[in-house]
Structure formats: C-alpha cells, structure tokens
Structure 1
Amino acid sequence: MKELKIGFLQLHNTADVANNIKRLTEGITDLAQRGAELIVLQELHNSLYFCQVEEVGNFDLAEPVPGPSTDHYGALARELKVVIVASLFERRAPGLYHNTAVVFEKDGSIAGKYRKMHIPDDPAYYEKFYFTPGDLGFHPIDTSVGRLGVLVCWDQWYPEAARLMALQGAEILIYPTAIGYESSDSSDEQQRQREAWTTVMRGHAVANGLPVVAVNRIGHEPDPSGQTNGIQFWGSSFVAGPQGELLYRACDDDEESTIVSIDLHHSEQVRRWWPFLRDRRIDKYTDITRRFID
C-alpha cells in the first residue's frame, strides 16, 4: 500500500484578494498540521471568478509566474513541507495571459505548471476574452508524492486530456475547478448538470484506472454587469478511486476542509483486472485528431 493523504479546500471567494489569500493560507496550514501531504486548491482561488464579464480592467488581477503568489505559496509549501496545487491568472507578457495551475514541491520550488488547454466561452464564463489556450501540452508533473496529472476545469469534460496524462504515467488526475448553477435553469436541470460533471470525471477514473481529485469553489458570486443573476457555485468537490468509486464528496452549499487517504498502489491492481490500456486499438484511432468526420 502506498498511502497518500490528500487535502482540499472548498471555499467561497470575495472581492478582497488579500483576505482570500489569508483564508487560503490558514486553511493550507490547518490541513498540513492535520497530516495532509498533497493540498489541492480550487480554480483561480485568489479572487472572484472575474470571467462573468468581459472587462479589460480585470487583467490587472494577473501576475507573472514566478511572481508574488508563487513566492507566497512556495514559501508556505516549504514551511509546511507539503506539495500544493495552486491555480493562478498568469501574465505571460503584455496582452498574453493564461489560466495556469502551478505545483509546488515540499521544498518550495515550482515542480511544474500546466496552462489550461480547453477554454470555454459561454454566458457568465467568458474565458476566451482572458485566457490564451495553453501551449505546454498534457504532461504530468513529477513530485515527491507522485506523478500528478494536473488539468483545469473545462479540461475535465475531455477524455483525451485525461488519457494523455495517463499514458505518460500520471498517478492521479487533478482538476481545480470553478463551476456552478445558472439561476434560470430548473432545479432538476441544475442537478443534472452537477451529476454530469461528477460522472464524466468518475468515467476518467474508470477508463484510466486512476484516482481523481476535483476541487470546486462554493457560494454565490454576483454578475457585475447585472445581465444575469450571477453564479451559484455548486461545490461538491470529490475524490474518486480508480474504479470511479466516490471516496468522499463535499456538500454543495458550504465550505469544507477535508483530508482523504488514497492507496496509489491500488491502481496497479485495478489495471490488472481491467487492462484497458492493453486492449486499445491504437492502429485505428488516427481519425481522433479530426474535428469531425463527414
């Protein structure tokens, strides 16, 4: 058995960036003191989810990587001797920005980063206005707690992304997330969407024989434009095992600070039972790179 204690913070966000970082710092410290070895944070955790509107001034929230936030979370990882998966608004160059996950090693160094590849553009999720699609590809990040397949939010709907991480030896799939309910949808429709979100990632766990960690934010964030009623983020952060089994699922209406233990060696046994990688017909998948087959 190779046990790994994974901690995550499901938090609400405010317009006060300093206060958000303060609460994150307190939460990370508490999780580390309770025994977490790997701590995963939600998507764009330093601020409100600013993509509800197309506003040029919001680019001021971005910062370089490395930069102030990487200095802060790196120092925290070093002090607490934990691996941290953070999610930042990266200013790469003037006019060039990314939605970037940064992984910090226990010594505070940057173990690696991943730039979000799939960028949505939907009402209240105007991410294409802000984020250039990632150019680092789908590559796991090696850390002292394992090889982490880090992806971000909208990436979670794409089996190709999860598969490419698995094919390169990822031991866990990790998804920092910001997703919630549209207020005009019926309660039934809202629940269908939340269950679809959970189900698709549990499917990635099954198809690849890997545990999955998804960390979402919680709470209501208003639409600054007033065109919608804002987003009610649905929380429901979870950890699933390599057969898709739910090891833990957070609530959909409150903050949570949780540690879940997983056995990384169990994936080996599951893949022996279900050898999906062995039976892939890689000689017949050439059309997968086409947009659509007419």
Structure 2
Amino acid sequence: MSQREKRILKVGIIQQANTADHSDNKRRLKEAIRRVASEGAELVVLQELHNGLYFCQTEDVDTFDEAESIPGESTREFGELARELGIVLVLSLFERRAAGLYHNTAVVMERDGSIAGMYRKMHIPDDPAYYEKFYFTPGDLGFEPIETSVGRLGVLVCWDQWYPEAARLMALSGADLLIYPTAIGWESSDESGEQTRQSDAWQLVQRGHAVANGLPVVTVNRVGHEVDPSGQTRGITFWGRSFVAGPQGELLAELDQSETTRVIEIDLARSERVRRWWPFLRDRRIDAFSDLTKRYRR
C-alpha cells in the first residue's frame, strides 16, 4: 500500500448558551474563539444565530430589528478577530438583505478578516417553536463550497442537515468537509424516550452524510434552556452534543450538554483514501436519478 501524506486541519468548535444580551453573548464567544485559537485551531465554527436567543419560537415583526446587513457590524467585529488570530471563522447571522427580505446566513471570514463567502439557508422549517418561515426567505446562493485558505468549506445550516441532497451537492462541488451551524433541541414537554430518538436521529443522519460522501462533518449546536416568550410551550432545551465525524462516519469528538469548546484534528487527506475503498461517487446511477427533482413520484 502506498504511503500518503496527512493533511491535518485543526478545527475549534464552540458550544454556548445564550441570553438576550447580544453584547455579552459576543463577548463570551470572542473569549472562546481566542481560547481555541490558542490551542491551535485554524478553523473555528460557531452555532446557528450565535449573537442572540433563538427568536423563532414566536412570530413577532419587531424581531426583524435584530437583523443586520452583510457586510455589517458582526462581520467587522469577528473579521477583525479572525485577522488578529490568523484563523478562518464560520459565523451564522440574521441577515437584512433589504426591507422585507431577510435570510438565515452563514458567513465565512478569511484569515485576513475579509469575507471569503456566504451561504443562505436553503431549507426553512415551520414547526411548533421553530417558526422560521415567518423570518427567513429561502437561500438563493445554491449549494456551493466556499474557498478558503484551509480548504473548500461545504457550509450548510441546521435544517439543511436532514437533507442528503444538500450534502451530496456540496460533495459533488468539491467540498473538503461539511459544516452545520445548528440550533436544535427538545420542546420541554417531550417525554424522555422521544427526546433520545430525536437527538440520536439528528446525529445519525449527519454521520450518514459523512459516510455517503466520504467527507468529514462538523456540527455545532447551542445549549441551554430558552423560554417561549408567548407562553404557548415550555420553551426549548437545546441539546448540545456538537460533534465531528470522519469520512466513514466515525466520531472524532462529541460534546456534552454544557457550555464548552474543543479542538479536533481532522485529516483531510483521509477522504481520498476512503473514497478509493468505497467509491460511491463512481457507482452513482446518474442516468436514473432524474425523478429526484420531482416533489413526489406517485
């Protein structure tokens, strides 16, 4: 067997519980970013909508005031930090694109503080306590990896993680790894068995994307309990469990349900090896897949 050179990427993941105080949330995030950078992280990934609370538990037009432009305050602040620390940083922001037009947008900041690229969340849920369709217009940037100094990042967002098509299109476009900023948890009245099933399924489907595409997966979720301002539900307990999986679905790291950080080494060269053993891309029957673009076949 031929020898190969490893291509190690050190990834920092930050799992945080948020409050309504955006300034304090960002202060704590910056401290955590500095901490993982001091431990050698070259790429740092934050959770979905990391500046504030998960506001989609209710539908309130005044909440749109929290949205910001891109470029804007957050890209400036976090861009300056990325430049200072020499890291690539994945942000998740509530984007105000125009009056009445808002997106759930991931932004990748390059080592020099510039914007390397953006991804606007494509799949938008509308479930009890997750009323995202009220706030977010579906993305229009497609499933395109973002070129950075640490590799081609296949950035997707939360609800996208349930869709194998999204992961596949990122893989077919040359992504080196898949990244999912996330805000997901239990509605607090769910019984324990259902909670376990949901959390396990969430991790399993993403590990399946790693296997099917021969790519590492980095998923960063938030933690903590956030009340429902309307009082209609008992709020959401975000389950954390942020994790990194290798290209065969193997768990390289899994966090608990506390505020914490971790730096994980990923060998990006391993994907090439795994795809030689398991050539799923080679054996795809692309001549028979046209019906995948239909809503339903029957």
1:100 aligns with 2:105: yes
| RMSD (Å), alpha carbons | 0.4
The match for 1:267 is 271
The match for 1:284 is 288
Q: Deviations over 1:68-97 (max 9, x none)?
A: 001011111000000000000000000100
Q: When the two structures are superposed, what TM-score results if normalisation uses the length of structure 2?
A: 0.98
The match for 2:182 is 177
Structure 2 residue corresponding to 1:293, chosen from 271, 294, 297: 297
- Report the Cα offset of residue 161 of structure 1: 0.2
> Quick one: distance in 1 between partners of 2:142 and 2:151?
19
1:29 aligns with 2:34: yes
The match for 1:132 is 137
The match for 2:262 is 258
The residue type equivalent to 2:150 in the other structure is V
> Quick one: distance in 2 between partners of 1:120 and 1:166?
23
> Quick one: distance in 1 between partners of 2:260 and 2:211?
26
1:80 aligns with 2:89: no
The residue type equivalent to 2:284 in the other structure is R
Question: Equivalences for 1:45-60 in 2 at 5 Å?
Answer: 45-60=50-65
> Quick one: distance in 1 between partners of 2:189 and 2:70?
38
> Quick one: distance in 2 between partners of 1:125 and 1:206?
29
- Report the Cα offset of residue 38 of structure 1: 0.2
- Report the Cα offset of residue 172 of structure 1: 0.4
Q: Which runs of 5 or more residues in structure 2 are unaligned?
A: 1-5
| Aligned-partner SS, 1:162 | helix
Q: Deviations over 1:246-280 (max 9, x none)?
A: 0010002x111100001000000000000000000
Q: What number of residue pairs does the alignment pair up?
A: 293
Q: When the two structures are superposed, what TM-score results if normalisation uses the length of structure 1?
A: 0.99
- Report the Cα offset of residue 185 of structure 1: 1.4
> Quick one: distance in 1 between partners of 2:219 and 2:88?
16
Question: Equivalences for 1:1-294 in 2 at 5 Å?
Answer: 1-252=6-257, 254-294=258-298
- Report the Cα offset of residue 171 of structure 1: 0.4
> Quick one: distance in 1 between partners of 2:173 and 2:131?
31
- Report the Cα offset of residue 105 of structure 1: 0.5
Aligned residues with identical type, % of pairs: 71
> Quick one: distance in 2 between partners of 1:107 and 1:69?
15
- Report the Cα offset of residue 292 of structure 1: 0.2
> Quick one: distance in 1 between partners of 2:239 and 2:188?
12
- Report the Cα offset of residue 182 of structure 1: 1.4
Q: Which runs of 5 or more residues in structure 1 are unaligned?
A: none
- Report the Cα offset of residue 183 of structure 1: 1.6
> Quick one: distance in 2 between partners of 1:273 and 1:49?
41
> Quick one: distance in 2 between partners of 1:257 and 1:162?
25
> Quick one: distance in 2 between partners of 1:51 and 1:184?
18
The residue type equivalent to 1:275 in the other structure is P
